[in-house]
Structure 1
Amino acid sequence: MRIDFLTLFPEMFTGVLHSSMLKKAQEKNAVRYFLHNFREYTENKHNRVDDYPYGGGAGMVLSPQPVYDALEAVKAAAGDTKPRIILLCPQGERYTQEKARELAEAQHLILVCGHYEGYDERIREHMVTDEISIGDFVLTGGELGAMVIADSVTRLLPEVLGNEESAQKDSFEENRLEHPHYTRPAEFRGWKVPDVLLSGHHKNIEAWRENESLKRTRERRPDLLAVEAERKNNKK
């Protein structure tokens, strides 16, 4: 997979892309990351990428020209005319594990990170394939959201995780929260590990984990079970 980031602050990505699982994914040649400062593509003599909004109002709006030219340059460099181009914005589709799995099937992602008051609407209408929000809150820019998407997608790529089963058992897979985990010691300050996990009886352990996953989901995120029920009904 190839992931390109269009950003005004490429230095924000350095630590994230060269640490932990994202670093290992690159070492395994599972993914390649490229950073592009779209300020370098502006035709404005002052290197501005934003301007005042028509009709007045607070803040500045990102202009379409530098974003368009940056996208065209990235597509040409990659030899790809139809990448998934993702706009990070509060008005976008809320990001989910299901969306992460969908994006993990792509060969090329371009993540556009905005700043200031917003985007010229023509960027939304004519330049991107997806609009994504990572939650109902506002950030200074789209960089952190882009890092979240890159991380969640990369870990789903084949052979990135040491154990392929890890991703299959994560929270939000099959619209459930993950079951509780315990490790040594078996008792700490009077708090004991459930006996079933010490039994060595794998069938009983799996049943316990299944029940605990459902219990935790019902208690904390019942909306996920409703989504899963609707998904199953739509398949019938």
Structure 2
Amino acid sequence: MNYHILTLFPDMVLNGLNTSIIGRAAEKGLLSIEAIDIRDYSKDKHHSVDDYPYGGGAGMVMQPMPICEAYDDLCRKTGKKPRVIYMTPQGTVFNQTIAGELAKEEDLVFLCGHYEGIDERALNLVATDFLSIGDYVLTGGELPAMVMIDCISRLIPGVLNNESSAEFESFHDNLLEYPQYTRPEEYRGLKVPEVLLSGHHKNIESWRREQSIKRTLERRPDLLKEAVLSKKEEEFLNKLMKEQENG
């Protein structure tokens, strides 16, 4: 996976992403992270990339030329036209399913807007996907880009030391992850569930699935509409729902 981030703040994204698991994956060559400074493509002597909006209004708008020039240069270097993701509150809300789809790409471009946004012509010419990380507004696209890159990278083979980790995290089968425990066995009067100490893998797996279903019902019941459950698990869910209705 090769990430190309079109940004006004390259140090921000590089300093954030070249750490922890993602940084180690980059060092191993499992992925690459390139930050392209949009200002480098400005023809203005002051490297300006924004101007006042036509029709009036508050704030400034990023000009189309530097963005399109930066993307064209990237296409020449890579010999292809990579998928371009523009982070915007107007986009589809990013989720684990979208992350899995994007993880199959060889190259991904993240276009980070600022100010009052980007000239619509640049978006028409280069953007292929409009994604959001939630219904709120940030000062720029860098943080959403970093969030998405972190999520996508965890699905790339070899990035996580334990290959099964990504498969059984939250949102696998549209369920939240089960509770986790480690040593000591008892802390401030709270004990680790007996089943986890039993060594009986089938019982542990069954307990974890039930806990995932229970936690999803309590915290994100909306996810259950698309959850992948066995007949036995559906019966368990129905029992929980009845208990919830009865208080």
Shorter-chain TM band: over 0.9
Normalising by structure 2, what TM-score?
0.89
Name the residue aligned to 1:157: 156
Which string of whole-angstrom CA distances, capped at 9 and with x for unpartnered residues, describes residues 179-216 of structure 1?
00011111111111111111111111101000000000
Are 1:147 and 2:141 matched, yes or no? no
User: Bigger shift: 6-15 or 203-212?
Assistant: 6-15
Q: Distance in 1 between matches of 2:93 and 2:40?
A: 30
User: Bigger shift: 8-17 or 197-206?
Assistant: 8-17
In the TM superposition, what is the alpha-carbon distance from 1:122 to its structure 2 partner? 1.4
Q: How does 1:32-181 map to 2 (within 5 A)?
A: 32-81=32-81, 83-181=82-180
Q: CA RMSD in A?
A: 1.2
In the TM superposition, what is the alpha-carbon distance from 1:89 to its structure 2 partner? 1.1
Name the residue aligned to 2:28: 28
Q: Distance in 1 between matches of 2:69 and 2:28?
A: 31
Checking the alignment, whether the CA contact within 8 Å between 1:88 and 1:131 is kept in structure 2 is yes
Name the residue aligned to 1:207: 206
Which string of whole-angstrom CA distances, capped at 9 and with x for unpartnered residues, describes residues 203-231 of structure 1?
111010000000000110011112347xx
Aligned to 1:147, what secondary structure does the other structure show? helix
In the TM superposition, what is the alpha-carbon distance from 1:167 to its structure 2 partner? 0.2
Aligned to 1:173, what secondary structure does the other structure show? coil
Query: Which structure 1 residue ranges, 5 or more long, are not aligned?
Result: 230-236
Checking the alignment, whether the CA contact within 8 Å between 2:68 and 2:125 is kept in structure 1 is no
Name the residue aligned to 1:225: 224
Checking the alignment, whether the CA contact within 8 Å between 2:65 and 2:122 is kept in structure 1 is no
**Letter aligned with residue 213 of structure 2:** L
Which has more radius of gyration? 2
User: Bigger shift: 38-47 or 60-69?
Assistant: 38-47
Q: Distance in 1 between matches of 2:208 and 2:183?
A: 18
Name the residue aligned to 1:232: none
**Letter aligned with residue 9 of structure 1:** F
Q: Distance in 1 between matches of 2:106 and 2:227?
A: 28
Checking the alignment, whether the CA contact within 8 Å between 2:89 and 2:132 is kept in structure 1 is yes
Checking the alignment, whether the CA contact within 8 Å between 1:16 and 1:22 is kept in structure 2 is no
In the TM superposition, what is the alpha-carbon distance from 1:34 to its structure 2 partner? 0.7
Q: Distance in 2 between matches of 1:14 and 1:30?
A: 16
Which string of whole-angstrom CA distances, capped at 9 and with x for unpartnered residues, describes residues 108-130 of structure 1?
00101110011111122221110
Q: Distance in 1 between matches of 2:197 and 2:215?
A: 21
Checking the alignment, whether the CA contact within 8 Å between 2:14 and 2:33 is kept in structure 1 is no
Q: Distance in 2 between matches of 1:152 and 1:198?
A: 31
Name the residue aligned to 2:181: 182
Which string of whole-angstrom CA distances, capped at 9 and with x for unpartnered residues, describes residues 116-163 of structure 1?
011111122221110111111111100011111111111111111111
Aligned to 2:164, what secondary structure does the other structure show? helix
**Letter aligned with residue 63 of structure 1:** Q
Q: Size of the alignment, in residue pairs? A: 228
Query: Which structure 2 residue ranges, 5 or more long, are not aligned?
Result: 229-247
Q: Distance in 2 between matches of 1:121 and 1:18?
A: 31
Q: Distance in 2 between matches of 1:176 and 1:117?
A: 37
Checking the alignment, whether the CA contact within 8 Å between 2:113 and 2:141 is kept in structure 1 is yes
Q: Distance in 2 between matches of 1:125 and 1:228?
A: 36
Which string of whole-angstrom CA distances, capped at 9 and with x for unpartnered residues, describes residues 31-85 of structure 1?
111111111101234321111111111111111111000001111112222x110
Name the residue aligned to 2:244: none
Q: Distance in 2 between matches of 1:51 and 1:92?
A: 24
